[in-house]
Amino acid sequence: MININNESKHNNKRILTEQINLSSNDLDSKSTNEIVNIFSEADKEPQKAVEKAIPEIVNAIDEITLRLQSNGRLFYIGSGTSGRLGVLDASECPPTFCTNPDLVQGIIAGGIPSLTRSSESLEDLSEIAITDLKDRNFSSRDALIGISASGRTPYVHGALNYSKSINALTISISSVPETDSTLNNDIDIRLITGPEILAGSTRLKAGTATKMALNIISTSVMIKLGKVYSNRMIDLSISNDKLMERAIGILFDIASVDKETAIQLLEKTNGSVKLSLLIALSGMDVIEAKNLLNHSKGNLRTALIMFNSD
């Protein structure tokens, strides 16, 4: 039996993500070319939405970085598409930046099974989110990004309220204005993409904008944590042939070493591109380079500045 709460019974105002997109009226009568062009035009909106939210995104990046530098962790939490996007972004951090899987975590209502099978009813249970966070030992040292396109998901509201109550850094990402939904947070990221091509299907524009924002946030945090030099991933995990070739290419591009030398360096450093680069650029041995990286808090650029100033 469907449970309709009093707010749903008496509130006929449609929030932005549920409104009708006039540009896609009679979509089912359009040609394939017309449908694709409608989508192509609509998908310009997520970029605009992210651009308008730059100040809040910058604030989120700086504050998350401070938490992670102080042994905190970053959590994404959401249900449905929002939850899946958070889990996806979190799962990409270990292979891309060689982070501990615990550092950035994605939580979705219903757990792992919800990644492939819908469990929409669970998004209405705010208390489950608190249990999910407690199960991960979520604490005041950590940062939380609660993702809800509608801004009304009880599961996400429960997580945001709990996070605020224990003084963790609390960030929300939604795709509706404050007039549609008030969220309990420290940083409020609003990605306003307007009505969807399919009314209410927030896996479309809202999902695209959310994916863009998460890409920017996690990558920028990792840059600030010293996992990038210039525009290269110097903390990548060499787990297959493609990544080995990428590592060799990075050593060639930055340190001008040939393939054979690059392989020898990677063997010496147990596959650490960052340490291999420091050795190649400084001429230090492994122990000296490790010590310098430790003193520079794992930042290659800082380590090179320290080396060249001696």
Q: Does residue 298 come out as left (phi exceeding 0), alpha (psi in the -120 to 50 range) or beta?
A: left
Q: Supply the pTM of this predicted model.
A: 0.90
CATH superfamily label, 16-224: Glucose-6-phosphate isomerase like protein; domain 1 (3.40.50.10490)
- Could you report the per-residue pLDDT of 264-282, keeping only the tens digit for each? 999 999 999 999 999 999 9
Q: Does residue 57 come out as left (phi exceeding 0), alpha (psi in the -120 to 50 range) or beta?
A: alpha
Please give the pLDDT value at position 1: 41
Task: Specify the domain boundaries for CATH 1.10.8.1080 within the chain.
Answer: 229-309
Residue 147 CB-density burial (10 A; 0-12 exposed, 13-18 middle, 19+ buried): buried
- Could you report the per-residue pLDDT of 36-80, keeping only the tens digit for each? 999 999 999 999 999 999 999 999 999 999 999 999 999 999 999
DSSP secondary structure letters along 172-225: EEESS-TTT-----SEEEE----S-SSTT-TTTHHHHHHHHHHHHHHHHHHHHT
**Residues composing the chain:** 310
Q: Do residues 129 and 109 make contact, with C-beta atoms less than 8 angstroms apart?
A: yes
- Could you report the per-residue pLDDT of 106-136, keeping only the tens digit for each? 999 999 888 888 766 677 788 999 999 999 9
Residue 12 pLDDT > 60, yes or no? no
Position 10 confidence tier, pLDDT thresholds 50, 70, 90: very low
Please give the pLDDT value at position 121: 67
Q: Give domain 229-309's CATH number out of 2.60.40.1180, 1.10.8.1080, 2.40.110.10, 3.40.50.720.
A: 1.10.8.1080
- Could you report the per-residue pLDDT of 185-225, keeping only the tens digit for each? 999 999 999 999 999 899 999 999 999 999 999 999 999 99
Active-site positions read: 92, 123
Task: Specify the domain boundaries for CATH 3.40.50.10490 within the chain.
Answer: 16-224
